[in-house]
Amino acid sequence: MTSTDKPTHRVGVLALQGAFARHVESLTRCGADAFEVRTPEQLAACDALVIPGGESTTMAMLLDRLELRTPLAERLNDGLPVFGTCAGMILLAKEIADGRPDQVPFDVIDIDVRRNGYGRQINSFEADIAVEGLDGSSFRAVFIRAPVVTRVGAEVDVLAEVDGDPVMCRSGHVSVVSFHPELTDDDRLHRLFLDRL
Amino acid sequence: MAETGSDNTSSRTDGTVRVKRGLAEMLKGGVIMDVVTPEQAKVAEDAGATAVMALERVPADIRRDGGVARMSDPEMIEGIKEVVTIPVMAKARIGHFVEAQILQALGVDYVDESEVLTPADEAHHIDKFAFAVPFVCGATNLGEALRRISEGACMIRSKGEAGTGNVVEAVRHLRSIIGDIRRITQSDEAELFQWAKSLQAPLPLIQEIAETGKLQVPLFCAGGLATPADAALAMQLGAEAVFVGSGIFKSNDPAPRAKAIVEATTNFEDAEILAKVSRGLGAPMTGIDMDDIDVRLSERGW
């Protein structure tokens, strides 16, 4: 399943709900073969996966109802490279606070998050952040009802912060951000993800 | 390594157009459900709604009862905010900027300046740039959509005819908006001036559409959707998400219908799944033919 000898990476974007189309656009601009994932067959075709922003409760329910949860958990545990943004970060975390009781995360990166930790929509914001490993200027990060990272495990690298809170973390094949790189034309974080495949 | 901003003196800005349109982006591919009680809000969230619209009466009841329909009681909106974790929207009357101020103070996540309520101003819509909370507005055609965007709307929903359970007007409005977008992309520079005149819409917005082929903000569908097939129809026609009002809680068995509409919206192109989720849902809301209605809510808005 590795794609190191292939010129383009087959990157799926989980398309149950949310900003999946914007991720497909960003990844395509970066030269990846990007496609939407709604079925176990499409999931099996991925070399890497993006879990987009959207409503994490809705996505979690649809994962169950469309019988994607088990195959996705297996791929993630087998080391499928994954990039989770906002709701994607929530789904990949270890513990979720202020979620629904039946919302079980995949637990593939050792962080805890609090849903809507910055508040409601009127508290949503954008900010310039410095990202470790990123060339050039700062990155304009857009936070929409974003989760707050409340605990970071010892094995996890924090790559960016806002006011002392981690907003970008990486551990092995799992990268997560609490903001929305797909809402800007700046593709550097998508490129960073692809460069590491 | 040296670049990491541990002492980020961050340039946090809230209420930007990008942040306001951003929440609409997050609601794409989902279903926003009208609810009138906290219990209904739970049913909606349990079914996988991406957001709820808190209101006192669903459009079918507003239509039946008549009288002036206004913003909901703040207590009722707060009751709904308390029981769900998904975004909560609420409606203000067209032009009633004070109702919008109150909704923003209550911390609702989106304000719907809605023709379903009785208009408060027969010439002016709300100046939506004046708010940090984002607004969604209805439109029956592209000109109306662009006038709303020029006033600061961050999401457009085709109006349809709310409270009828009849999808025909939603289809008409979606086809009108998306059809004109397609035609504009085929127009030359001189024709764009004519488009601006005939649609009564700002020229720069028309020119932008000619270039991108897309509306500036997410385009959702509302008004008369009652079945999973209706939701999938709207999505296949080009809507990016759907609002379902009376269609869920005026049906015989709301919870399974709500779930089915959520699954249909995600899998809108997969007829096998649509067939599966459409089974055994009980009776949908009865619905009304367009010739039998006295008030066309979609004609409200200027």
For residue A82, the distance in angstroms to the closest alpha carbon of chain B comes to 19
State how far the Cα of B211 lies from the Cα of B213, in Å rounded to an integer. 6
A121 inside domain:
yes
Q: What is the CATH number of the domain that holds A133?
A: 3.40.50.880
Q: What Rg value do the Cα atoms of chain A yield, rounded?
A: 15
Q: Is A165 helix (H, G, I), strand (E, B) or coil?
A: strand
What would the two tokens of residue B9 be?
């003196």
- Which helix (H) or strand (E) segment is A112 a member of? strand A111-114
**Average pLDDT score over residue span B245-262:** 94
A4 inside domain:
no
> What range defines the domain where residue A78 resides?
10-195
Domain total of chain A: 1
Q: Supply the pLDDT for residue B31.
A: 98
What φ, ψ does residue B31 adopt, rounded to 5°?
-125, 125
Catalytic residue status for B91:
yes
**Beta-carbon separation of B48 and A125 below 8 A:** no
Q: Which of A9, A23, A180, A190 is labelled catalytic?
A: A180
The pLDDT-based confidence of B2 (bands split at 50, 70, 90) is: very low
State how far the Cα of A32 lies from the Cα of A45, in Å rounded to an integer. 14
A2 inside domain:
no
Inter-CA distances, A156 with A110, A159, B27, B48, Å? 7, 9, 30, 31
Q: Supply the pLDDT for residue A2.
A: 47
What would the two tokens of residue B7 be?
């002492």
The pLDDT-based confidence of B285 (bands split at 50, 70, 90) is: confident
The pLDDT-based confidence of B10 (bands split at 50, 70, 90) is: low
pLDDT tens for chain A, residues 1 to 197: 444 455 689 999 999 999 999 999 999 999 999 999 999 999 999 999 999 999 999 999 999 999 999 999 999 999 999 999 999 999 999 999 988 887 889 999 999 999 999 999 999 999 999 999 887 789 999 999 999 999 999 999 999 999 999 999 999 999 999 999 999 999 999 999 999 99
- Specify whether the CB–CB gap between B71 and B90 falls below 8 A: yes
Catalytic residue status for A41:
no
A167 inside domain:
yes
Q: Supply the pLDDT for residue B4.
A: 41
Average pLDDT over chain B, rounded to an integer: 94
Residue whose structure tokens are 């808005």: B301
B209, HSE (Cβ side, Cα atoms, 13 Å): 30
pLDDT in tens, A121-175: 999 999 999 999 887 789 999 999 999 999 999 999 999 999 999 999 999 999 9
- Specify whether the CB–CB gap between B231 and B265 falls below 8 A: yes
Q: Supply the pLDDT for residue A100.
A: 83
Is pLDDT above 80 for B146? yes
A86 inside domain:
yes
For residue A77, the distance in angstroms to the closest alpha carbon of chain B comes to 26
A114 inside domain:
yes
Residues whose CB falls within 8 Å of the CB of residue B24, separated by 6 or more in sequence, listed in order: B110, B134, B136, B154, B155, B217, B218, B220
The pLDDT-based confidence of B262 (bands split at 50, 70, 90) is: very high
Q: Supply the pLDDT for residue A7.
A: 63
- Taking residue B252's Cβ as centre, other Cβ atoms within 10 Å add up to 11
Task: For residue A39, give the chain B residue with the closest CA.
Answer: B267
Q: Supply the pLDDT for residue A31.
A: 95
Burial class (CB within 10 angstroms; exposed 0-12, middle 13-18, buried 19+) of B42? middle
Catalytic residue status for A182:
yes
Query: Quick one: what percent of chain B has pLDDT higher than 90?
Result: 87
Please give the angle made by the CA atoms of A153, A125 and B50, to the nearest 5 degrees. Answer: 80
B85 → closest Cβ in A57, A124, A162:
A57
A1 inside domain:
no
A5 inside domain:
no
**Beta-carbon separation of B23 and A132 below 8 A:** no
Q: Which of A3-12, A61-70, B79-88, B187-196 has the lowest mean pLDDT?
A: A3-12
- Specify whether the CB–CB gap between A92 and A108 falls below 8 A: yes
